[in-house]
Amino acid sequence: MRFAFSTLGVPGLPIPDVVRLAATHGYHGVELRAHPEEPVHPGIDLAQRADVAAEFKAGGIEVLGLAGYARVAAPGDDGPVIDEIRGLLELARDLGAPYIRVFPGADHEQTVQRADAVAARRLGTAAEHAADLGVRILLETHDSHRRAADVIRILGRVGHRHAGALWDVMHTWLGGEQPAESFAALSPYLGYVQVKDIASADDTTPLALGAGVLPLTETVEVLSRHGWDGWLCWEYEKRWYEEAAPLPELLAAGREHLGRLLNDCA
């Protein structure tokens, strides 16, 4: 397995510094938060995109994916959602990133059946564009569809190899699933896995990996047992929790912890 971290943990940090952190602490890649608050988002021009790609190439670090905010099950017209996804896909293509992340984002007033149908329709349309660009759209286990069982209801209807899943271990755990259940459901669709740690279900302030309650050992064990050899990406949500410790000072220990988990499961 290869290790990455998300720039959600280092909000606003310039790209050269992001690349330097990854290289210094032994990470293979970085997930870029694609938002106007950050250095990389769909509004940057071709020259800026080329500069970002060059920084990563020079540092020997991969752009794992773009963490976008399109909500595929949200109420409203399809057009703006599909346009948002296309913008992320084109940015990913220009940066050489294999994945983009989207959210479910269903409204509480929607029925489950309606939300699933809307999400599947939009993902099916966007997946055709993704295939042309050589990028996969990953639907994260999050918000209205936090369990793997929820996400696969949508992906099973889409039936397109360029529409897959991003497994956020915290959300499936909060939804009551065990790692073995989540993996069994997601494995045909799985792009990569987001790991993190928290104190409890009631306190989701980010902690150092291994310092909280999330089933990271069990997650790595089930992935290893099934021969899955993809990416583990540490999503440390510093952007939303100002009181959390700075991520840079935790990166080395986090990389060592993931390495130990992997070695213990080998």
The pLDDT score that the predictor gives to residue 105 is 96
Parse the chain into domains and list their residue ranges. 2-265
Over 80: is that where the pLDDT of 210 sits?
A: yes
Its pTM stands at: 0.97
The pLDDT score that the predictor gives to residue 109 is 85
Beta bridge partners of 206: 198
Helix (H) or strand (E) holding 163: strand 163-168
Over 90: is that where the pLDDT of 59 sits?
A: yes
The pLDDT score that the predictor gives to residue 252 is 97
Over 80: is that where the pLDDT of 266 sits?
A: no
**Range scoring the smallest mean pLDDT among 158-162, 245-249, 260-264:** 260-264
User: For residue 6, which of 182, 245, 199, 235 has the smallest C-alpha distance?
Assistant: 235
The pLDDT score that the predictor gives to residue 265 is 82
User: For residue 101, which of 167, 22, 3 has the smallest C-alpha distance?
Assistant: 167
CATH for the 2-265 domain, from 3.40.1710.10, 1.20.1300.10, 3.20.20.150, 2.40.50.100: 3.20.20.150
pLDDT, tens only, 233-260: 999 999 999 999 999 999 999 999 999 9
The pLDDT score that the predictor gives to residue 264 is 85
When pLDDT is averaged across residues 160-181 and rounded to a whole number, the result is: 98
The pLDDT score that the predictor gives to residue 108 is 87
